[in-house]
């Protein structure tokens, strides 16, 4: 009987490296798969997509694992978490091409708010 780890090892050695991607758990929760992960061509020609991918993964991980700090302008930790969630939503919209292919006014306002919050609190994203 082949164990899960042996099967994974065989798959890594036999399947093309371009097809065998590990997607961060935080992005799998958003419904992304290895097919959505940016490859070197994205990093060259689609920099916005590649950066949005990396930023969304980082923000999602930060939101879940940051337990020590939040920006002093917030009254509570929960408000800080909501703000990070708004930032995540903006980058999710970029990855799902919601910005280019038609977006409602409400979604556009949410996108703009999230990006403004990201710019405003960029230096506060540390633990």
Residue 79 tokens, joined? 């408000």
pLDDT tens profile 9-58: 666 666 545 454 577 777 777 777 766 677 676 677 778 888 888 898 88
pLDDT tens profile 75-115: 888 898 999 999 999 998 888 775 566 677 788 898 899 99
Containing structural domain, residue 44: 21-124
Q: What is the pTM of this model?
A: 0.71
Measured distance CA(42)–CA(109) in Å, rounded: 27
Q: CA torsion 95→113→71→53, rounded to 10°? A: 10
53 located within any domain:
yes
Residue 35 tokens, joined? 């097919």
Query: How many domains, in total, are found in the chain?
Result: 1
pLDDT tens profile 62-82: 988 887 777 888 888 889 899
């Amino acid at each position: 009987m082949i164990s899960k780890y042996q099967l994974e090892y065989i798959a890594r050695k036999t399947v093309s490296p371009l097809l065998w991607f590990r997607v961060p758990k935080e992005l799998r929760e958003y419904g992304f798969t290895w097919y959505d992960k940016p490859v070197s061509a994205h990093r060259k020609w689609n920099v916005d997509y590649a950066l949005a991918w990396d930023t969304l993964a980082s923000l999602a991980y930060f939101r879940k694992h940051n337990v020590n700090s939040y920006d002093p302008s917030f009254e509570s930790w929960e408000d800080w978490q909501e703000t990070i969630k708004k930032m995540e939503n903006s980058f999710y919209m970029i990855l799902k091409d919601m910005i280019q292919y038609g977006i409602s006014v409400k979604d556009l306002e949410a996108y703009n708010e999230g990006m403004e919050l990201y710019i405003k609190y960029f230096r506060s994203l540390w633990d």
